Structure 1
Amino acid sequence: MSSRPRSSRDNAVLAVLVGLVLILVVRRHVVRADTLLWLAVLIPSIILHEVSHGALALLFGDDTAKRAGRLTLNPIPHVDPFGTVILPAILLLTGAPPFGWAKPVPVNVRRLRDPRNQGLMVSLVGPAVNIGLAVTAALVLRYARHVSLFVSGGSLLVPHLSSLNRALFLFGLVNVILAAFNLIPLPPLDGSAVLERLLPASLWPGYLRLRRYSFVLLFAVVFLLPGFLARVFDPAIHLWGRLLT
């Protein structure tokens, strides 16, 4: 049996997985400059989203994320093999913009000083951070007067921008999409915290049984219901456009 630490083995497996995915994507010729730019703003956005959960939990008395080494901007500890590697690759191969998520930051709600209220705040701080990042990007673009666009039916008509301004534009767009996605009231997404807060006690046993299959349920909703994500993302995209006008 190897004496190499488990984390080192996991990192080696992850590196091989990422390498294989990159080889497949490059061989299919689906990597373009815009794709790389999209990934460049997506990865830090999902990391900041996850770190914010652990940072607020630490402020409220739970150091679980800190002890797990998750309060870091290093992307490796946050990588979820499916959400961070496989799903974006599938989307790239099908011609869709890459999208995904990071490994959830561990939080022990029972260690919070006020589990009921602070647990809800810890859940919602991730989308709040994404919205804050989007607003910041919009303010920079808007008041620097580097962007003008038309908003119509949730779609954006974007003029040619400099590389920096295009990165800011995509950074804001990615963050409003992340906020909208994570506010879907389905476990394990952050919006489920609101659902749990409002759920009558009589429904909790059934909900907890259903929660065990949360990833399967989420996958089914996203991929088997045509137009579901469009109905979630279109208002967010429209809001992003409104922030810039």
Structure 2
Amino acid sequence: MDTFTELQLFALFAVPVLLAITVHEAAHGWVAHQLGDHTAHQRGRVTFNPLRHIDLIGTLLIPALTFFFAGLLFGWAKPVPVNARNLHHPRRDMAVVALAGPGSNLLMAALWGFGIQAGLLLDPVNHWFAVPLIYSGAAGVLINVFLMVLNLVPLLPLDGGRVLNSFLPPRLAAIFSRLEPFGLLILLLLFVSGLLSSVLLPLVRWTIELLPGSRIVIDLFFV
């Protein structure tokens, strides 16, 4: 990736990032809709239109700043509204709704991996089409796996925190929920300190190694 300028790299990652965030949030809303809460559906959030999920600061400004100054993409979208009281089994279903986002990212990572393999097969026939497909596929695998692993961190308001909160005894869950207003600040501090990357990157690499096209992704981003 050293042959690409920062602007080219940003353009390469733009589509995978938008898709990763959009499908992630839409998956939350769709699963909540299936389980009895129609809040997100009524507000137009069960959609693949990225404009419905973009947060000007979290989706645009922060990722641009962290990419150009730290070399990593970090950001968030507008959270999909879910009313747990409307779910058939509130505590259990909230965990299922939370896991839908990371699950969609794992599925997209696999699809991008197959895109890499398709690009490798097409390369001898149409090099100009194959190369962007391979690089975009690699970016798609990386960003979706990173987003999946990041969101599984057991810290509110992340999906991992929602899952943990669903399984804690009610009294402990109430105490844990009080940390949610500080969750994003804690996450940013962990990110800036480098602790977050030191924990997440090995997990990201291990997950990538299980996916199609993994050799290309590892060679591009981890060597």
TM-score normalised by structure 2 residue count:
0.81
2-structure distance, mates of 1:193, 1:92: 28
Superposition deviation, residue 166 in structure 1: 1.1
Residues 41-60 of structure 1, C-alpha deviation per residue, up to 9 Å, x if partnerless? Answer: 10111100000000111111
Structure 1, unaligned stretches of length 5 or more? 1-29, 148-160
2-structure distance, mates of 1:87, 1:165: 27
Pick aligned residue for 1:184 from 139, 153, 161? 153
Q: Map 1:28-47 to 2 at 5 A.
A: 31-47=6-22
Q: What one-letter code is carried by the residue in structure 2 that aligns with 1:146? A: L
Superposition deviation, residue 31 in structure 1: 4.5
- SS of equivalent to 1:94: helix
- SS of equivalent to 2:75: coil
| Residue of structure 2 in register with 1:146 after alignment | 120
1-structure distance, mates of 2:190, 2:20: 24
Pick aligned residue for 1:215 from 184, 195, 213? 184
2-structure distance, mates of 1:145, 1:212: 44
Q: Report the CA distance shift for 1:88/1:140 in structure 2 as closer, same or farther (over 3 A).
A: closer
8 A Cα contact 2:165 2:177, kept in partner: no
| Residue of structure 2 in register with 1:119 after alignment | 94
Residues 113-147 of structure 1, C-alpha deviation per residue, up to 9 Å, x if partnerless? Answer: 121222111110100010011112223434x4718
| Residue of structure 2 in register with 1:103 after alignment | 78
Give the greater-gyration-radius structure (CA): 1
- SS of equivalent to 2:59: helix
1-structure distance, mates of 2:160, 2:166: 10
Residues 199-231 of structure 1, C-alpha deviation per residue, up to 9 Å, x if partnerless? Answer: 2344334323222322222222322x3232232
1-structure distance, mates of 2:119, 2:61: 38
Answer yes or no: is 1:80 the counterpart of 2:55: yes
Answer yes or no: is 1:134 the counterpart of 2:109: yes
Superposition deviation, residue 37 in structure 1: 0.9
8 A Cα contact 2:146 2:204, kept in partner: yes
Pick aligned residue for 1:175 from 114, 124, 144? 144
Residues 125-182 of structure 1, C-alpha deviation per residue, up to 9 Å, x if partnerless? Answer: 100010011112223434x4718xxxxxxxxxxxxx7011211121111111110010
Q: What one-letter code is carried by the residue in structure 2 that aligns with 1:214? A: G
| Residue of structure 1 in register with 2:195 after alignment | 227
Answer yes or no: is 1:237 the counterpart of 2:205: yes
8 A Cα contact 1:51 1:71, kept in partner: yes
**Over the residues paired in the alignment, what is the CA RMSD in angstroms?**
2.1
Q: What one-letter code is carried by the residue in structure 2 that aligns with 1:82? A: I
- SS of equivalent to 1:87: helix
Q: What one-letter code is carried by the residue in structure 2 that aligns with 1:193? A: R
Q: What one-letter code is carried by the residue in structure 2 that aligns with 1:116? A: R
Q: What one-letter code is carried by the residue in structure 2 that aligns with 1:167? A: S
The alignment-based identity, stated in percent, is 32
Q: Report the CA distance shift for 1:133/1:93 in structure 2 as closer, same or farther (over 3 A).
A: closer
| Residue of structure 1 in register with 2:219 after alignment | none
Between stretches 209-218 and 185-194, larger displacement belongs to: 209-218
Structure 2, unaligned stretches of length 5 or more? 122-129, 216-223
Superposition deviation, residue 80 in structure 1: 1.4
> Between Structure 1 and Structure 2, how many residues are aligned?
201
